[in-house]
Structure 1
Amino acid sequence: MAVTKTPRKKPTAAAAGVEKPAPKAKAAPAKKASAKKAEAPEPKAKKAAKTPAKGKAAKAVEVAPARPEPIAPAAPAPKPTAKKPAAAAVPSALVDALLAAIREGRAVEFIFADADANAPRTFEPRQLTFDALSQAWYVWGWDRRYNAERHHRVDLLAEVNEVEGVGRAAQGPYAEGTPANQIGGWLGGEPIAVKGTLLKQWVFAVKQAPPAFPRFKIEEQGDGQALVSFTATDLRAIARWAMQFGDGIQVLEPARLVDRIKQVGAVWAGRDRQATAPAPKPAPRPEPEPRRHEPKHHAEAKAEARPEPRPHREPRPEREREEAPKGKPGKVEVIHFDRL
C-alpha cells in the first residue's frame, strides 16, 4: 500500500493554547514610570506566540497581567507653627536719621505721634539699641526738656528733624567744637572730675560696655581692682552711674559726690528700717484689784452699817465759846412715895 504523507500544519496560536496578550492599559499621565514598567513584559509574550511547539502540543503560556504600581500615600500637611511676635514696625527714615545724628554728633528734634502726651523737644542721642524683651528700638541720650538722661521708644516717634546749631535749652558754657549731642550732662556747664575704685566683679562688665561719660578711663590695679576716672557736668547723672554698682565701687573724688551718695544711702536705710520695724505694742491696761468673795448677807450688812460722812466743821475759837449764852438749868421733879 502506498502511504501518503500528509504535511503537518503549523499550529496556530489558538491551537497552541496561547492567549492573546491583554490590551495595553492606559496609564495616568502623571505616573509615566509605572506605565513603562507595565509595558515591559509584552515582547516576551509575542515571542512565545511566534515560536511553534515541536513534536508535542505546546504548553499553554499564560501571561500575567501587569500589576499597577501602588500609589504612595500623600504626605501629611505641615502643622502650622506659632509665629514669633514681630518687632514693632519702625520706619527706616527714623533709624537712619538717628544713626546719622549719633555719627555726626548732632542734636535732633523729636516730634511724637501723641503730641498731647509728649511735647516736642530737643534730644541729644548717644546710643541706639534693640531690646529683645520688648522687641522694640530705643534711643538713649540727654533730654533737654527734663535736663536729664532719658530712654525713648523709636516706634512712638512721628518725626526726627535736624536742629540748626546746638538747639534750644542747651546747657552751657561749653568749649568750642563740642558735639551738640554731648552738651547736656556730659560736656555742658562746669566740669566735674570724678575718680573711684571699682571692685573686681565689675571691672570686666565696665570694660565691655560703651563709655558712659567723655574721657572715660579705666586702669587695672594689682589686686584685681580698677581705677576709674572721667569728666562730666551733671552731678545727678554721675551719682546715678556710681550707685548702680552698690557696694562694688568706692568714690574717691569729688567730696560732694561722696556726700550725696551718703545722703541717699541714709534715706534708703531709714525707709528700710521703717518698713521692717515692728509696730509699737499698746500700753498695758491696769488690771483691776481682786475682790474678796463675801456672802451676800455680810455684804448687805456691811453696806448698811457704813455711817454717812459728816460735814467738816472748823473748831470755834475759845472766845466765841465763852460769849455763847449758857442754857437754862433743867427742872427737877420730886416724886413722893406713899407708904403702903
Structure 2
Amino acid sequence: MQSRETLLNTLYASASEVPAWVSFTHAARAVFGCDHAAVMVGASHDGVFVGAYSDDAMAAEIEAFFASAAFERNSGVHKFALAGGAHVTLLPVADSQKRSAAIILWEQSKSAPLSAPQEELLGSLSEPLCRSLQIYYRIMDLARRGMLSDLALNSSRIGAALVSSDAELMMANDVADHLLATGGGLRVVGSRLQAESAEETRTLLAEIKRCALAQAPEPDLQNYVPMAFSRRDHALPLTIIVRPGPGYFPLRQPNRRTAILVLRDPAAQAAWPAETLARLFGLSAAEALLASKLAKGASLEEAATELGISRNTVRSQLQSIFLKTGINRQSDLIRALLNSAATSA
C-alpha cells in the first residue's frame, strides 16, 4: 500500500513539473526495481509524443520502441520481450478526449520481468494516470493561454500588471516591467506602485483599492477608470486603465483582492514595417513605404521629403492605396492602419 501511495502522490504532484512526470519516473524505477522508467504522452502510432525519463540517455531507445510497439489504449498491461533480452512492461491509457499516455518500465537483459504483484500494481495506476493526464493538459492549456496573452500584449506594446488592493505589484508583462522601470510616471518603490507626485500617488491608491474591492465572480468590462501620470522627461503622460481584478468564479471569494492595470505610452511609436503593410493590404513596395510614413504621423509633404520623391508622386501613390483598400480619405486610411495587425508587427 505504501508503494502505491508513493506512486500516486508522485504521479499527481509531478504533472505540474517542467518537464512533467520526471519525479514519477524516478519513483516508479525505485518501487518496481526496474532499470529505467518513462512516461510517454501522445500517440505512438503517428509518432507525435513527448516523454519523461528516469535516465535521459535512454530517451532515444525508449522512443524508438514506443513508436513501433503495437497496443490498444486502455487495454491493460502489455509485456514485450526485445532483442537482446530486454523486457518492457507498458501501461497505455486514454482519457475521454482520446488524449493518451503510457507508463513504460524497462528492464535490461540481465533483469527478470515484473512479478505478478508488480504487474497488478502497475495496472492499478490506469485511472490515476488518466486523471494525472487531465491535470497535465489543464496546466498546459493555462500556460499556453498565458503565453498567448503575453505575446499579444507585448507585441502590441501594451503593459499589463496585476496589483493587490494596496498597490503591491504581484505580476507584470515585459512591457509593463519596462515602463515601470524606465518610462517615468509610475515606478515600483518597496514592491508598491508610486507616481511622480504625492497627490497622483494618493489618487492611484484610492482607485486601485476601489477597483480591487469591486472584484466580482465574472469580469465587468464596463468598470474601469482612465488615469494619466505626469512624467518629468516627457510632455506626454503615461496613460493607464485601472480595472477590477480577474473574475474569481467558481470560488466564492478571491484569495486576494486585486486590480488590473493596463499601461500605454503615448510617446511610443509602432514600427509599422512596410513589408507587413504591403502583405496586409496588397500594396506595392513604394506604396507600403508611403503608408508606413503616414501611419507614423507624417504629412504628405513630410513623407515626400523623407522618401525623396515629388509631391505629385506621393499623391499618385496615395490614390493607388485608396483604390486597393477601398478607402477614400486619408484619415480613414490612418484609422485602418492603426486598427490592423501591423500594430503588433
Query: TM-score higher than 0.5 here?
Result: no
Higher strand proportion: 2
Q: Considering only CA atoms, is the larger Rg found in Structure 1 or Structure 2?
A: 1
Q: Classify the TM-score, shorter chain.
A: under 0.3
- Please, what TM-score do these two structures have when normalized by structure 1? 0.18
Higher helix proportion: 2
- Please, what TM-score do these two structures have when normalized by structure 2? 0.18
